[in-house]
Amino acid sequence: MEHLVSSWCNGRSLPESYILPPEKRPGKLTVPLANNIPVIDLGGHDQTDLIQQILEACQEFGFFQVINHGVPSNLMDEAMSVFKEFHALSAKDKAIETSKDPNKSCHIYTSSPNYATEKFHFWRDGLVHHCNPLEKYIQFWPEKPPRYREVVGPYTAEVSKLGFRILEFISQGLGISLGGLGGNQALVVNHYPPCPDPSLTLGLGKHMDPVFINILLQSDVYGLQVFKDEEWIGVEPIPNAFVVNIGYPLQIISNGKLKGAEHRVVTNSNVARTTASYFINPSNETLIEPAKSLVDASYPALYKSLLYKDFLIKYIAASTDSKALEEALRATV
Ligand code: OGA
Ligand code: NI
């Protein structure tokens, strides 16, 4: 907590613990902006066509952006304002505002939840809190800035609705029903301060999200990159859009039909970047396994069956090594 990047980064050069080993550095900072990441208009009325577009995007990229998604743009703007105001608070206030729940359903960290044990750090602070059911968790959310709960309550309700709508399209597209929905839902408000040397560090290292789906509000500052065909492509900020990506559990359930894409965040030296991830996760006791209807003699199950909580243990053990994780999850043939 005392480590928060935003509390000490002003005017400092990059500390050694933030310098990545050469093979993990971002390399070329300017990569092609992905005008090929699909932008899907959810305002369209042809449901079959929408499902088709979403499924294709999940198959090819694991990523897409949505516009005309139904979340009011003033609510998105207000939420982004309070997220920025929160990260602009003093370190002391941030500590107070994130320690209301002894069970830590709301907390703040720097770099990653593994700060104490990781070999090097990433250039971000992250505020995390549970969102569902709202009545249970809102009492633990920050009360500074004063409008935090008033704005973020309706914001998370709307984004949750959007996430479930997209999950419903995906399950219809695959012809399956997704179990364990409505499990844990969490908001992570990321803050990446201006960085003294973006070539040596990252805001977030290469990773795949261990969730069903993430609905990301990425603001107008570029930084997100997706790994596709062994190359990094940038995700262009589009006003009022959300970036949507699917995570590993959906890759397993779809028996590899859908891709949970690896992604990372690069920093920049000019402006701070604030983003908000809304994660919809399976419940801990949900069995994550290839859907029966997607498995047959020509498409054998690619992955083992695992409870979500056991999947998470393997995910954490693999610590962003995607090959090791894939091996740990693959069905033995
Ligand atoms: C994440 C994530 C991307 C961003 O929170 O898992 O990938 O642009 N965030 O902040
Ligand atoms: Ni992510």
The pLDDT of residue 333 is above 70: no
Q: How far is the CA of 299 from the centre of ligand 1 (A)?
A: 32
Structure tokens of 277? 């991830």
- Provide the pLDDT confidence category of residue 11 given band limits of 50, 70 and 90: confident
Q: Which of 38-47, 61-70, 196-205, 318-327 has the lowest mean pLDDT?
A: 318-327
| Long-range contacts of residues 168-172, Cβ cutoff 8 Å, at least 24 apart | 169/47, 169/50, 169/51, 169/54, 169/55, 170/54, 170/55, 170/58, 170/213, 170/246, 170/250, 170/258, 172/51
Residue 3 maps to a domain: no
Residue 211 maps to a domain: yes
pLDDT score at 34? 63
- Provide the pLDDT confidence category of residue 163 given band limits of 50, 70 and 90: very high
Q: Are 235 and 218 in contact (CB under 8 A)?
A: yes
Residue 288 has φ and ψ, to the nearest 5°, of -100, 115
Which protein residue has the closest C-alpha to ligand 1 atom 8?
224
The pLDDT of residue 315 is above 80: yes
- Binding-site residues, ligand 1, Cβ < 6 A: 188, 190, 204, 209, 216, 218, 223-224, 263, 265, 275, 277
Which protein residue has the closest C-alpha to ligand 1 atom 2?
277
Residue 237 maps to a domain: yes
Domain, as residue range, for 174: 24-329
- Provide the pLDDT confidence category of residue 180 given band limits of 50, 70 and 90: low
Q: Is the peptide bond before 145 cis (omega within 30 degrees of 0)?
A: yes
Q: What is the CATH number of the domain that holds 120?
A: 2.60.120.330
Residue 2 maps to a domain: no
Residue 190 maps to a domain: yes
Crossing angle of helices 148-174 and 73-87, in 10° steps, is: 120
Residue 316 maps to a domain: yes
Q: Are 141 and 129 in contact (CB under 8 A)?
A: yes
Q: 117-133, pLDDT tens digit by residue?
A: 888 999 999 999 999 99
Q: How far is the CA of 206 from the centre of ligand 2 (A)?
A: 8
The total of structural domains in the chain comes to: 1
Q: Which of ligand 1's atoms lies nearest the C-alpha of 190?
A: 10
Residue 87 maps to a domain: yes
Q: How far is the CA of 154 from the centre of ligand 2 (A)?
A: 23
Q: Are 121 and 200 in contact (CB under 8 A)?
A: no
The pLDDT of residue 193 is above 60: yes
Q: Which of 86-95, 156-165, 173-182, 290-299 has the lowest mean pLDDT?
A: 173-182
**Comparison of pLDDT for 87 and 45, the residue scoring more:** 87
Q: How far is the CA of 263 from the centre of ligand 2 (A)?
A: 6
pLDDT score at 44? 81
Residue 40 maps to a domain: yes
Q: Beta partners for 186?
A: 130, 279
Q: What is the DSSP letter of 51?
A: H
